[in-house]
Amino acid sequence: MGGKMKILVTGGAGYIGSHTCVALLLNNFEVVVVDNLSNSSRESLNRVQEITGKSLDFYPVDLLDKSGLDQVFQDHNIDAVIHFAGFKAVGESVEMPLEYYSNNLTGTLTLLEVMRKYKTRDLVFSSSATVYGNPASLPITETFPLSATNPYGRIKLMIEEILQDLYVSDASWNIALLRYFNPVGAHESGKIGEDPQGIPNNLVPYIAQVAVGRRPFLNVFGDDYDTPDGTGVRDFIHVSDLAQGHIKALEKLFAHPGVVIYNLGTGTGTSVLELIKGFEATCQKEIPFCVVPRRAGDIAACYADASLAEKELGWKAIKSVADMCRDTWRWQQNNPRGYGHTPA
């Protein structure tokens, strides 16, 4: 499958976007990236080209810039879009709801309007397990009730609803809503990985920065949850497995399924302490941590039932927690300051 189909990747210079660009190029797709570089680096795309030995087209365009986006579609015959672009910090979304709604919601609407104009009807949307709110039971299947506990999650949910409304209005659209659990790890080459600006919001880059000496210790938010060791349990999925899921979702769209929804996770929960121990084993160092009060909006445990994606897409996460720790550590050691734009 693939031939030389051309895929537009919004937010393609970001963490999941860059890994998906690698997978697309290696699967013989042509890639066009749109990214305003507000939370990513141009260098990641240079590395993507290095890893694959293939080139891609890059436009430093913001999704709120309709004429800029229009130009991309004029320049290229886009077959499908994978939409990653958006602000992504849960805590920040609570503090800055207007910026999040404006950027993530309006940016998506602009993208959809331009897609409609150019008759590009195939879209993979980067959704999130946050749309399940605080799940009543585990593991989480795609049919669970949906809710949101913060603006970040609410916007993901709204976009899912907008996309389903769009399909109802025009059945020529094919849309895959991919609900990710907790993406971690890095490309096995160590050339691309997660490069948060400032203080990381996510656990694994924070652990890695402590291991590499950039930060003195890790905060563990709560050790009194109703979980085996008291710390939060999450479904950590290797970003390279996740990228592969997007390839499978695209192939599904080319069979014209309408709207499809899949969890992308491993199906296994790992606690914060287990992850710290896994990282310590990999880097052969102790990771000092300090238990601090729970964060508002955090839930005790969350992991996927990912069997639908396996059944319908033929996709399954294959990399282990040890792989995730090893690849993160390789990336962090090779790039102690990320892509080089992050302040100390």
Three-state secondary-structure class, residue 24: helix
pLDDT of residue 2: 43
108 belongs to a structural domain: yes
22 belongs to a structural domain: yes
Gap between the Cα atoms of 36 and 320, Å rounded = 33
Q: Give all strands of the β-sheet with 233-234 in edge-to-edge order.
A: 270-271, 233-234, 301-302
Strand-pair partners of 7: 31, 80
Gap between the Cα atoms of 138 and 319, Å rounded = 21
Gap between the Cα atoms of 270 and 276, Å rounded = 10
241 belongs to a structural domain: yes
Q: What is the number of structural domains in the chain?
A: 1
- The CATH number linked to 51 is 3.40.50.720
191 belongs to a structural domain: no
* Conformation bin of residue 178: beta by default, left when phi > 0, alpha when psi is -120 to 50: beta
pLDDT means over runs of 10, the chain (344 residues): 82 98 98 96 97 98 98 98 95 94 98 98 97 94 95 97 98 98 97 92 94 95 97 98 98 97 98 98 97 89 97 98 98 93 44
306 belongs to a structural domain: no
**H or E element, residue 166:** helix 151-169
Catalytic residues, by residue number, are: 152
Angle CA(220)–CA(320)–CA(83) in degrees, nearest 5?
Answer: 80
> Which two tokens mark 155?
């916007």
Per the listing, tokens 């085996």 go with: 228
48 belongs to a structural domain: yes
pTM of the model: 0.96
302 belongs to a structural domain: no
273 belongs to a structural domain: no
- Residue 87 domain boundaries: 6-186+236-265
